[in-house]
Structure 1
Amino acid sequence: MKVVFSPVFKLHKPPYSHPEAPDRLDAVLKGAEEAGAAVQAPRAREDVWNLVSLAHERGYIEFVRRLCKEDYAQIDGDTYVSSGTCEAAALAVSAMADAVDAGETVLLAVRPPGHHAGFVGRALTAPTQGFCIFNTAAIGALYKGEGVAVVDIDVHHGNGTQEILYDKDLLYISTHQHPATLYPGTGYPDEVGTSKGEGFNVNIPLPPLTGDDAYAEAVEEVIEPILRQYDPKIIIVSLGWDAHRDDPLANMGLTINGYLRAISTILKLQKPTIFLLEGGYNRDVLRRGTAALIRLVDKGEEAAGEAPSKTDAKVYERFRRELGEVKRHVSKHWRL
C-alpha cells in the first residue's frame, strides 16, 4: 500500500498548543515504516484552486488565501491558519485528485483535515470549523462524480461533507458519536439528503462508549448492505482514529479492532479505496492504527494488537434503539 506524504503538510502549524498539530504525521509515518509501506511525495497540480472551488465558494477560498499571507490567524476558536496552511491544504487536494485519477488503494497522510469544512467554512449549525480548512473528501467525490462513496469513520460527524453532498446522488455514510453528546451536533438519522440526493446521506449516530461488538453490528446491518447495493466505482474513507477509546477528544469505546472490521468490509468490495487522514489525536493510536491498516491492505492481517472491546449492557440497549431509528429512515431507500 502506498502512503502519500510531504513535509509540506507539516507547514500548517498552530500558534499555540493544539491537538491538531504537525507531529500527528510523525506518528502516522512511524506506523507506515513499521508496516513496510512505500512513501511517495505528491505533486502540486496547476488546477488545484479550480478543484477547491468544486466544494467551496470563491469568497471563502479567497478569505483563506488572504489569511495565509499572515504568520498566524484565527478563523474561530478551534481553527487556525498559518503562513504554510494554503500550501499544505492545496497539496492535500492535489494528492486527492491524483489518487482519484490513479484508481489505486492508497493512504493520504495529509493535513489540514477537512470534513467539517462546508461551502463557506463553518457548516450547518456547527459553532466552529473544527480544525478544518478545505473539504478534501468532498472535493475528491465531486471531482470523480458518479459512483463515488464517501465513508466517514471519524468520531465526529462530517457536517461539511454532508452539507456539500446533500443534494447529490453520491453516497455519504457517517458513523459518529451521537450528536447530542459531541461536536458538531449534527448527523441524526433523519438527515437523509434532499432532491436527487435523497437517500444517499446515511448517518449512524452511536452512543458514547460504544464498543467494537456493537460497531461491528452497525457495519454488518447497515453499512455493508448499502455499499453492496450502491456498488461504488471508488471509495473515499474519511479516516479519523478518534473513535478509539484512548482518544482525548471524544468518548467512544472502540479499539483498532473496530476500525479493522469496518475497513475489511470496505476492502471486500475490491474497489479502489482512498484512505484520507482526518482526526485522531492520540499519537500512539495513530501509529498503531496506521500500521494495522497497511498490514490489512497488503497482507490481509487483521491483528490489532489489543483485545476487542465489549459494549456495556445499558449502552448496548441505547445502541440498538439508535440503530433501529437509523434503519427506519434508511430502509425507505435501501434494502437492509
Structure 2
Amino acid sequence: MYVYYSEIFKKHTPPFRHPEAPDRLDYVIKGVVEAGGVVKEPKMREDAWRLIYSAHDKSYVEYVKRLCGAGQAEIDGDTYVSAGTCDAAALAVSAVMEALDKRETALVAARPPGHHAGFAGRALTAPTQGFCIFNTAAIGALYGGDGIAVVDIDVHHGNGTQEMLYERDLLYISTHQHPATLYPGTGYPDEVGTGRGEGFNANLPLPPGTGDDLYIKAIDEVVLPLLMQYDPRAVIVSLGWDAHKDDPLADLALSLKGYLYALSAILSLQKPTIFLLEGGYNREVLQRGTKALVRLVAAGDFRPEETQTDSPLHVARRYEEIMQEVRRHLGRYWRL
C-alpha cells in the first residue's frame, strides 16, 4: 500500500496551541515506517483548484485563498488558516485524485482535515468548521462519480460531507458519537438524503461509552450490508482515530480491535480503498493505528495489540434503541 505524504502537509500551522497540529503527521509516518510501508510524495495536479472550486462555493474558496495570502488568520474559534494551508489542502486533493485514477488502495496522510467543511465552509447547523478547510473526501467522491462510496469512521459526524453529497446517489455512511452528545450536532438516523440522494445517506449515531462489541455489531448488521448492496467501484474512508478510548476529545470507547474490524470489513469488498486522515488527537494512537492499518493492507495482519472493549449494559440498551431507528429509516431503501 502506498502512503501519500509530503512535508507540505505540515505547512498548515496553528497560530496557538491546537490539537490539530503538524506533529500529528510525525506519529502517522512513524507508524508507516514501523510497518514497512512505502511513502510516496504526491504531485500537485494542475486541476486541483478547479476541482476545489467545482465542489465548494466560489466565494468561500476565494476567502480561504485571501486568508492564506495574509499569512495567518482564524476562520472561527476552532479553525485556522496559515500561509501554507492552501498548498497543503490542494496537495491533499491531488493525492486523493492520483490514488483514484490509479485505482490504488492507499493512505493519504494529509492535513488539514476536511469532513466538517461544507459548500461554504461551516456546514448545516455546526457552530464552527471543526478544524476543516476543504472537504477532500467529498471532492474525491464527486470527482470519482458513479459508484464511489464514502465511509466516515471519525468520532464526529461528517456534516460537511453529508451536506455536499446529500442530493447525490453516492453512498455516504457515517458512524459517530451521538449528535445529542457531541459536535457538530448532526447525523441523526432520519437524515437519509433528498432527491437523487434519497436513501444514500446513512447515519449510525452511537451512544457515549460504545465499545468494540457494539461497534462490530454495527459493522456486521448495517455498514457491510449497505456496502455490499451498493457494490462500490471504489471506497473513500474518512479515517479519524478519535473514536478510540484514549482520545481526549470524545467519549466512544473503541480499541484498535474495533477499528481494524471495520477496516478489514471494508477491505473485504476487494475494491480500491483510499484511507484519508481526518481526526485523531492521541499521538500514540495515531502511530499504533497507522502501523496496524499498513500491516492489515499489506499482509492481512489482524493484530491490534489491544484487547476488545465491551460496552456497559445501559449503553447496549441505548444502542439497540438507536439501531431500531436506523433500520426503520434505512430499511425503506436497503435490506437490513
Q: TM-score band (shorter)? A: over 0.9
- CA deviation after TM superposition for structure 1 residue 76, in Å: 0.3
* SS of structure 2 residue aligned to 1:221: helix
Q: Which residue of 2 aligns with 1:131?
A: 131
Q: Which residue of 2 aligns with 1:192?
A: 192
* SS of structure 2 residue aligned to 1:68: helix
- What is the correspondence of 1:93-242 to structure 2 with a 5 Å cutoff? 93-242=93-242
- CA deviation after TM superposition for structure 1 residue 53, in Å: 1.6
* SS of structure 2 residue aligned to 1:18: coil
- CA deviation after TM superposition for structure 1 residue 242, in Å: 0.2
Contact 1:167 1:194 in 2 (8 A): yes
Counterparts of 1:71 and 1:148 in 2: how far apart (Å)?
Answer: 36
- CA deviation after TM superposition for structure 1 residue 36, in Å: 0.2
Name the aligned partner's letter for residue 79 of structure 1: T
Counterparts of 2:293 and 2:320 in 1: how far apart (Å)?
Answer: 28
Identity level (%) = 66
| 1:62-107: CA deviation from partner (whole Å, max 9, x where unpaired) | 0000000122100000000000000100100111111110100000
Name the aligned partner's letter for residue 39 of structure 2: V
Counterparts of 2:234 and 2:227 in 1: how far apart (Å)?
Answer: 11
Counterparts of 2:236 and 2:111 in 1: how far apart (Å)?
Answer: 16
Q: Which residue of 2 aligns with 1:314?
A: 314
Report the RMSD for the aligned CA atoms in angstroms. Answer: 0.5
- CA deviation after TM superposition for structure 1 residue 61, in Å: 0.3
Counterparts of 2:90 and 2:130 in 1: how far apart (Å)?
Answer: 18
Q: Which residue of 2 aligns with 1:243?
A: 243
Q: Which residue of 1 aligns with 2:65?
A: 65
Matched, 1:292 2:256: no
Counterparts of 1:264 and 1:331 in 2: how far apart (Å)?
Answer: 24
Counterparts of 1:151 and 1:68 in 2: how far apart (Å)?
Answer: 30
Counterparts of 2:54 and 2:187 in 1: how far apart (Å)?
Answer: 23
Name the aligned partner's letter for residue 115 of structure 1: H
Q: What is the TM-score normalised by the length of structure 1?
A: 0.99
Q: Which residue of 2 aligns with 1:50?
A: 50
Name the aligned partner's letter for residue 180 of structure 2: A
| 1:21-50: CA deviation from partner (whole Å, max 9, x where unpaired) | 000000000000010000000000111111
Name the aligned partner's letter for residue 38 of structure 2: A
Counterparts of 1:65 and 1:193 in 2: how far apart (Å)?
Answer: 31
Counterparts of 1:308 and 1:290 in 2: how far apart (Å)?
Answer: 18
Counterparts of 1:270 and 1:259 in 2: how far apart (Å)?
Answer: 18
Contact 1:155 1:176 in 2 (8 A): yes
| 1:141-169: CA deviation from partner (whole Å, max 9, x where unpaired) | 00010000000000000000000000000
Counterparts of 1:194 and 1:88 in 2: how far apart (Å)?
Answer: 33
**Length, aligned pairs only:** 336
Q: Which residue of 1 aligns with 2:20?
A: 20
- CA deviation after TM superposition for structure 1 residue 132, in Å: 0.1
* SS of structure 2 residue aligned to 1:180: coil
Counterparts of 1:104 and 1:111 in 2: how far apart (Å)?
Answer: 20
Structure 1 unpaired stretches of 5+: none
Name the aligned partner's letter for residue 33 of structure 1: V
Counterparts of 1:207 and 1:75 in 2: how far apart (Å)?
Answer: 30
Contact 1:147 1:233 in 2 (8 A): yes
Q: What is the TM-score normalised by the length of structure 2?
A: 0.99
Counterparts of 1:55 and 1:304 in 2: how far apart (Å)?
Answer: 37
| 1:182-240: CA deviation from partner (whole Å, max 9, x where unpaired) | 00000000000000100000000000010000000000000111100000000000000
Counterparts of 1:46 and 1:319 in 2: how far apart (Å)?
Answer: 46
Contact 1:242 1:249 in 2 (8 A): yes
Contact 1:54 1:143 in 2 (8 A): no
* SS of structure 2 residue aligned to 1:54: helix
Counterparts of 2:225 and 2:47 in 1: how far apart (Å)?
Answer: 36
Q: Which residue of 1 aligns with 2:303?
A: 303
Q: Which residue of 1 aligns with 2:76?
A: 76
- CA deviation after TM superposition for structure 1 residue 54, in Å: 2.5
